[in-house]
A and B are shown apart, each in its own frame.
Chain A
Amino acid sequence: MGVGLSSARVTHYTSVVKLTQPTLPEEQADADQAVIDRVLAGDRNAFGILIQRYSDPLYRHAVGMTGSPDVAEDILQVSFIKAYNHLSEVRGRFDAWVFRIVANGCKDWLKNIRRTHLSYEEDDQPSGYENPEEELDRGELRSDLDLALSALPASLREAFVMKHVEGRSYEEMAELLDTTVGALKMRVHRAREALQALLEERYQ
């Protein structure tokens, strides 16, 4: 390879990005459709099953995009109510459909926040981490990463959050965002470069 490393010095790194559990789209879609049918037949509370099933990944996406747990809650709430009101219009996978509603909500919020010059740092609500010790131990990198993410264009930020925070595969991202794996790789790679440029002086 021409890099001059002896075999004794070679370190083998395992991939650091852990993918989330793969889903079984067909079974999942069938199960979701059964719940949707119940809701459309008048069982309003059955909608809670869909909320429980999908709120965590959607919440993580909204927190990643907005940098604010409080705003993420609001976006989740508005999005699920919108989904409920238009449930009869679901075509295809419910999870992809509701993801697009949340993703658009996040992008609307980002447009709005940039127009009104509000700060992401105004929100000091609890983060929703499972373990309180994580909350105490998140350190400076967390706020620096949020700040660096907020400097990225929405499309790069979205791609980075879906890959690195949500742990999605490029194929899954392409399906959710209705674009190509190649385009998404480019966005993630550009996002990494931008983040490294913003953070490397302090953390490298």
Chain B
Amino acid sequence: MMMHDNLDPRDGLEPTPRTPKESPMADQELAPTGRISEAVHAWLDGEPVNQAALNAAPREVAFWQKVEAETSSRRRMVTPAHVPAQILGQLPDKR
């Protein structure tokens, strides 16, 4: 089953050149809106946290604990057993 539109075999083979999207201006465009407190972001990022500010946002903390329970189960996903052999079987005989 062919999934890709772009069949250029060079795609993904070289590091993507820096684009204007990654300029400091792009960072400004991406600036968070402040909907989530800095303390919650810091906590989720594993950084030092202002504990009092975190305690002031118990609903956000509870919400992200639920999300993390789901994402951590995804972190344990493994490739279905048949896939590696299937890929190996589809490799061309001669490179």
Contact = CB atoms under 8 A, between A and B. Distances in A.
Contact of A59 (B45, B61, B68, B83): B83
A150 to B, nearest CB: 15
Nearest to A156: B30
A165 B68 contact: no
Contact of B43 (A13, A60, A79, A187): A13
Contacts of B61: 13
Chain A contact surface mostly: helix
B78 A59 contact: yes
Interface string B18-53: 100110001100111101100001011110011111
A199 B91 CA distance: 43
User: On chain B, which size bracket covers the interface?
Assistant: 35 or more
A81 B67 contact: no
Contacts of A74: 1, 3
Interface in A137-180: 138, 141-142, 145, 155, 164-167, 170, 177-180
Contact of A69 (B49, B76, B80): B80
Interface residues of A, number: 94
B48 to A, nearest CB: 10
Contacts of B5: 108, 111-112
Interface in A1-27: 1, 3, 5, 9-13, 15-20
Contact of B60 (A10, A178, A196): A196
Given A47-B88, A108-B5, A127-B77, A17 B46 contact: yes
Nearest to B71: A164
Given A5-B56, A141-B66, A129 B27 contact: no
A128 B67 CA distance: 19
B83 A103 contact: no
Contact of B52 (A10, A52, A190): A10
26 contacts: A18-B72, A56-B77, A60-B74, A73-B80, A73-B83, A77-B86, A78-B2, A81-B92, A84-B91, A86-B9, A87-B95, A108-B4, A109-B3, A111-B5, A128-B79, A128-B80, A129-B76, A134-B73, A183-B22, A187-B30, A192-B41, A192-B44, A196-B60, A196-B63, A197-B35, A204-B60
Given A3-B52, A39-B95, 12 more contacts: A5-B52, A13-B61, A17-B68, A47-B88, A56-B78, A60-B74, A108-B4, A112-B5, A129-B73, A142-B70, A178-B15, A183-B26
